[in-house]
Amino acid sequence: MKNPTPYQLAVYASLFIAGAVALVLSILYVFHFLQISFFWIPMVSLLVFLVSFQSVKRVLETYIYRKIKLIYKSIHRSKMKSDDKNTNVDLRTDIIDEVEREVAEWANDRSDEIERLKSLEAYRRDFLGNISHELKTPIFNIQGYLETLLEGGIDDEEINIPYLEKASKNVDRLHSIVQDLESIARMESGKLQMDFQVFDLKVLTTEVLDEMEFKAQKRGIALQFKEGASKPYRVLADRENIRIVLVNLISNSIKYGKRGGLTQVGFYDMDTFILVEVADNGLGIPEDAVPRVFERFYRVDKSRSRDQGGTGLGLAIVKHIIESHKQTVNVRSTVNVGSTFGFTLKRE
Query: Is 213 a residue whose pLDDT tops 50?
Result: yes
Query: Is 2 a residue whose pLDDT tops 60?
Result: no
Q: Which amino acid belongs to residue 98?
A: E
Mean pLDDT calculated for residue range 231-251: 92
Do 301 and 340 fall into the same domain?
yes
Backbone angles phi, psi at 156, to 5 degrees: -95, 110
Do 208 and 326 fall into the same domain?
yes
Of 161, 189, 217, which residue sits at a domain end? 189
Do 274 and 205 fall into the same domain?
yes
Q: Quick check: is 102 in a domain? A: no
Do 87 and 229 fall into the same domain?
no
Q: Which helix (H) or strand (E) holds 347?
A: strand 338-347
Query: Is 264 a residue whose pLDDT tops 60?
Result: yes
Do 220 and 266 fall into the same domain?
yes
Of 158, 189, 220, which residue sits at a domain end? 189
Q: Which helix (H) or strand (E) holds 275?
A: strand 273-280
Angle at 215 between CA 212 and CA 216, to 5 degrees: 80
Task: State the total domains in the chain.
Answer: 3
The upper half-sphere exposure of residue 10, i.e. CA atoms within 13 Å in the direction of its Cβ, equals 20
Q: Quick check: is 294 in a domain? A: yes
Do 224 and 340 fall into the same domain?
yes
Q: What is the model's pLDDT at position 93?
A: 56
**How much of the chain, in percent, has pLDDT values that exceed 90?**
26
Do 218 and 159 fall into the same domain?
no
Measured in whole angstroms, the distance separating CA 103 from the mean position of its chain's CA atoms is 26
Instruction: Give the residue numbers spanning the domain of 19.
Output: 6-93
Do 280 and 252 fall into the same domain?
yes
Do 237 and 290 fall into the same domain?
yes
Q: Minimum mean pLDDT among 36-50, 102-116, 254-268, 300-314: which range?
A: 300-314
Radius of gyration for the alpha carbons in the chain, expressed in angstroms and rounded? 37
Q: Quick check: is 55 in a domain? A: yes
Q: Quick check: is 216 in a domain? A: yes
Range list of H helices, 80-94: none
Higher pLDDT, 146 or 100: 146
d(CA 13, CA 1): 14
Range list of H helices, 159-261: 160-189, 201-218, 239-256
Higher pLDDT, 206 or 38: 206
Query: Is 306 a residue whose pLDDT tops 70?
Result: no
Q: What is residue 235's three-state secondary structure? A: strand
d(CA 348, CA 342): 19
Higher pLDDT, 151 or 32: 151
d(CA 294, CA 316): 5
**How much of the chain, in percent, has pLDDT values that exceed 70?**
76
Residues 6+ apart with CB under 8 A from 267: 201, 202, 226, 228, 229, 233, 274, 275, 276, 277
Of 75, 93, 111, which residue sits at a domain end? 93
Q: Which helix (H) or strand (E) holds 6?
A: helix 6-30
Mean pLDDT calculated for residue range 102-106: 71
Backbone angles phi, psi at 83, to 5 degrees: -90, 0
Q: Quick check: is 119 in a domain? A: no
Query: Is 50 a residue whose pLDDT tops 80?
Result: yes
Q: What is the model's pLDDT at position 134?
A: 72
Do 200 and 343 fall into the same domain?
yes
- Band (92; pLDDT cuts 50, 70, 90): low
Mean pLDDT calculated for residue range 307-334: 84
* pTM as predicted: 0.58
- Band (81; pLDDT cuts 50, 70, 90): very low
Do 73 and 146 fall into the same domain?
no
Q: Which DSSP string corresponds to 14-57? A: HHHHHHHHHHHHHHHHHTT---S-TTHHHHHHHHHHHHHHHHHH
d(CA 164, CA 145): 7
Do 202 and 169 fall into the same domain?
no
CATH of the domain at 148: 1.10.287.130
Burial class (CB in 10 A: 0-12, 13-18, 19+), 258: middle
Pick the closest to residue 284 from 337, 236, 322, 326 (CA basis). 337
CATH of the domain at 309: 3.30.565.10
